[in-house]
Amino acid sequence: MKKLSRKKFFKGLAIGTLSIPFVLRSCGGGQYQAQQQRNLSGKFSEEFSWRMVTTWPPNFPVLGEGCNLFAQWVEEMSGGRLKIKVYGGGELVPALETFDAVRNKAAEIGSGASYYWVGKSQAAAFFTAVPFGMNAQQMNAWMLSGDGWKLYQELYDGFGLVVIPGGNTGVQAGGWFNRAVDGIDDLQGLKMRMPGLGGRVLAKAGGTPVLLSGGEIYTGLERGVIDATEWIGPYHDYLMGFHQIARYYYVPGWHEPSAELEIIINKEKYEELPADLQAIVQAAALRMNHWVLSEFEARNAEYLQKLIEEEKVDIRHYPTDVLKQLKIFTDEVIEEITSADPFAKKVYDNYRAFRKRASFWADSSEKLYYEQFTG
């Protein structure tokens, strides 16, 4: 047998060509094999089949694709011990019944956005998007390195759910309109698809927020159920064909400077999993969290150019005075919510304190960079 040099041994460990199981088998194979047999005959051989319901249309670009990838990653990492079948909105349950379906065990796991569930708790909106609030980078920092995820889970504990961050859209576009928005009065009487806190702000401005799932928006706008819509950004807006039925495209998305998405799991079903499968589910969800934002950044840049150059879309900036008034309305909405709901106040106070620290740093980094070194 050819002698393995010390140098080659450590090189193999570093690049992954020499695995720990190989070393264990070489050094004491019988003991290793016995342990493997115990694993295969015990808890680690148990298999699970889950159903995943989503608020997104079946195989929907980025959002639905992310769910498909999540299921694929879980199956690969678990060696097939946990298989997840993904159902788009309407395939197993209606899109906006995802929360209750997972809570009531009609499905084990789901994907959506917390602001769809404000009827359950007003605090839920803060975990998706706050108008004029944190961007995706800051939201991820609050979730993963601040108290965001802990507070999120504290809220969902009351519903028997486990929650994991599962994507972010980044800064969204402002929306599609068939009439110009030259002043705040142009929002009076406007029926606009806009969920979450942004919808509450629109109502303050005299508009009527309408909650529609992604699969219902085009038809609603085409048939006059709504007068305007926001959705996500250039990539999805192009694919949805909004430029064919709406005249003006406004930016920026003041209502959603980021939109955190979620993976929700029935807590009892989650706790039935062995610890390693729980860790795999979390790892796959956080990988999805990163992939979704990266995909949006790449695709939105590409499709904004298409909308401008190929479709000749009239892209407009919201007037400064409109944004200022919407910010005033936002502060009023948040005050109303937090004064009536102690947990919502607890969440928002934490959110605001984190944002203040994050903004202090951003003013000397991101903001300064964009103002002086891009173009």
Summary mean pLDDT of the chain? 89
Name the 3-class secondary structure at 329.
helix
d(CA 137, CA 135): 6
Does pLDDT of 128 surpass 70?
yes
Cβ neighbours, 10 Å, residue 75: 16
d(CA 213, CA 90): 10
d(CA 177, CA 200): 19
Tokens of 365: 């980094």
Over residues 166-174, mean pLDDT: 97
pLDDT of residue 374: 65
* pTM for this prediction: 0.85
Amino acid type, 168: N
pLDDT tens across 249-275, in order? 999 999 999 999 999 999 999 999 999
Name the 3-class secondary structure at 200.
helix
Q: Which range, of 3-17, 120-134, 333-347, averages the lowest pLDDT?
A: 3-17
pLDDT tens across 201-220, in order? 999 999 999 988 878 999 99
- The secondary structure of residue 2, as a DSSP letter, is P
Does pLDDT of 36 surpass 90?
no
Shortest CA distance to 285 belongs to which of 258, 267, 262? Answer: 262
Q: What is the CATH number of domain 47-168+259-297?
A: 3.40.190.170
Exposure letters 49-64 (e unless 16+ CB within 10 A, then b): ebbbbbbbbeebbbbb
Whether 10 contacts 18, CB under 8 Å: no
